[in-house]
Structure 1
Amino acid sequence: APLASRYSIVMASAIFIAAMSMIQTAAIIGLSAALGAGLPDPAGLALVVFIVFALVLGVTGLSLGLSFALPGHIELIAVIFVTNLPLLFSSTALVPLSFMPQWLQVVASLNPLTYAIEPIRYIYLHADWSLNSVVMQAPFANITLGAAIAILVGFCAVSLALIQPLLRRRMA
């Protein structure tokens, strides 16, 4: 059957990536609970899912944009390999912000992964969380749970907005 829109290919890819990420997230949450990490309350779980979804959507947008901007899949794989580990190591995924040297604290505070990791970590460690809870003491400000989520949603919106002209030009 002919496609109703070329954008449906891009949307199908984004939906598939998001669905796979949610399945992986559910597996990680379930296994970590079974291994004794516990579970946040239902509102906390919903917020964790929202945070993961926002991060996945933002990164998916950038990845799909790169796939349309670069000449081939080899170049895309190269860019992903070159950026993947620096993004991981310059976030708070492996080391809390307070243990990092000052220069790395600044870099980690600019990394979108940090704004997903710190709220999730806080929700898991504090049963009495609120959107006003300080989840991260960045070098430039104290970041609340609500601010971290807003920054993450902003990252998602900016990444999706940045790829729109590229998609329009390539899909025309």
Structure 2
Amino acid sequence: MKLLNKSQINDFSHFIPKKRMKLHLSEHKTYEEIKEITKRLQIQSLRRPASLIISMIQPLLWLLMFGALFQNAPIYLFEQYTVQYREFLNPGIIIFTGFNSAINAGLPIIFDREFGFLNRILISPISNKNSLIYSCIIHTWLIATTQIIIIILITIYQNNTNINFNINQIIINIIISTIIISNVAAISICNALILPGHIEFIALTTLLINLPTLFASTALAPLSFMPTWLQIICCMNPLTYAIEIIRNHSLNQSIKMSTEIINATWLRINIYQSISILILINTISFIIVKKIIKYKYD
């Protein structure tokens, strides 16, 4: 086959488009996709009311049982404070409630994979596959935030305080919990896309991640009660920073970015550094999940 010379190429130049077409994802269409997938997940949850009721009762049981078990044990968390264990436990229960809901965010995806519904969603005219991630996180956030608000209201009722003076505390709790929920939900979705089935998913999340993550944090005990090796693990746990931010705010009724919340002999971290760590981990989780869903389903 002979190569075409320049004159022959110029003869076909009118077939070359003058402008290069660019595809832009419609923000409105992406919003509609997220809305419909979130609605589908909500309908699935409403058809299983038992799981919703149990997920809301579980943190209340933790709050009641652990609070009653160590009711008379004073916790010297800071030098200037002596608080009862129930007051010490509340921030840990709030964060663990968000964590417990977010760790199961990938369950709808892995069940859709097994029953073939995920393939139907992917071959549908969906413009942005990231809508799957966003809708799962939004659905998880709605459930977890409802649980957290219920816990906060029960705590306010137990302490006989006025709810008008605790709006700021509720907002801070929801903001910090949102960072944890989105981070853990992204990791859960990543596991749902990688693991072969729901049995492996439940075994990994329930047995290997759930309880060890809870005990390797300051949810149930302060750092001063722990040996050095466990303190190192706790400082690597993002839940520790979220718990200590909420706990510090509940005791001081204010947040100063320079306030130290981790004060060990080998590590000192303030609130500003803690929030930066949480946001950095959250960003990395989102990037990893987007790469995985692009690699597996594009």
Tell me how far apart the structure 1 counterparts of residues 138 and 150 of structure 2 sit (CA, whole Å).
18
Q: Secondary structure at the match of 1:136?
A: strand
2:280 maps to which residue? 154
Tell me how far apart the structure 2 counterparts of residues 128 and 10 of structure 1 sit (CA, whole Å).
34
2:231 maps to which residue? 105
Which structure has more RCO (C-alpha within 8 Å, separation ≥ 6)? 1
Tell me how far apart the structure 2 counterparts of residues 49 and 94 of structure 1 sit (CA, whole Å).
20
1:73-152 alignment runs, 5 A limit: 73-81=198-206, 82-152=208-278
Whether the 8 Å contact between 2:263 and 2:269 is mirrored in structure 1 is yes
Tell me how far apart the structure 1 counterparts of residues 272 and 166 of structure 2 sit (CA, whole Å).
17
1:72 to 197, 208, 211: 197
Q: By how many angstroms is 1:132 displaced?
A: 1.0
Tell me how far apart the structure 1 counterparts of residues 284 and 195 of structure 2 sit (CA, whole Å).
20
Tell me how far apart the structure 2 counterparts of residues 37 and 92 of structure 1 sit (CA, whole Å).
26
1:29 maps to which residue? 152
TM-score by length of 2: 0.54
Q: By how many angstroms is 1:41 displaced?
A: 5.2
Q: Which has the larger radius of gyration?
A: 2
Matching residue's letter, 2:136: S
- Residues 168/24 of structure 1: CA separation in 2 closer, same or farther (3 Å cut): same
- Residues 153/87 of structure 1: CA separation in 2 closer, same or farther (3 Å cut): same
Q: By how many angstroms is 1:3 displaced?
A: 4.8
Q: What per-residue deviation string (whole Å, max 9, x for no partner) do you get for residues 56-94 of structure 1?
A: 000000000000011111111111021111101100000
Whether the 8 Å contact between 2:249 and 2:255 is mirrored in structure 1 is yes
- Residues 20/139 of structure 1: CA separation in 2 closer, same or farther (3 Å cut): farther
- Residues 168/151 of structure 1: CA separation in 2 closer, same or farther (3 Å cut): same
2:126 maps to which residue? 4
Matching residue's letter, 1:130: K
Q: Secondary structure at the match of 1:113?
A: helix
- Gaps in structure 2 of 5+ consecutive residues: 1-35, 37-123
2:180 maps to which residue? 55
Q: Secondary structure at the match of 1:135?
A: strand
Percent identity, please: 30
1:164 maps to which residue? 290
Q: By how many angstroms is 1:30 displaced?
A: 1.0
Tell me how far apart the structure 2 counterparts of residues 9 and 160 of structure 1 sit (CA, whole Å).
12
Tell me how far apart the structure 1 counterparts of residues 125 and 251 of structure 2 sit (CA, whole Å).
47
2:3 maps to which residue? none
Whether the 8 Å contact between 2:149 and 2:170 is mirrored in structure 1 is no
Q: Secondary structure at the match of 2:237?
A: coil
- Tell me which moved more, 59-68 or 118-127: 118-127
Report the count of equivalent residues: 172
- Tell me which moved more, 32-41 or 17-26: 32-41
- Residues 66/36 of structure 1: CA separation in 2 closer, same or farther (3 Å cut): same
Tell me how far apart the structure 1 counterparts of residues 152 and 232 of structure 2 sit (CA, whole Å).
29
Q: What is the RMSD of the two structures over their aligned residues, measured on CA atoms?
A: 2.0
Tell me how far apart the structure 1 counterparts of residues 177 and 281 of structure 2 sit (CA, whole Å).
13
Instruction: Return structure 1 stretches of 4+ with deviation > 3 angstroms.
Output: 37-45
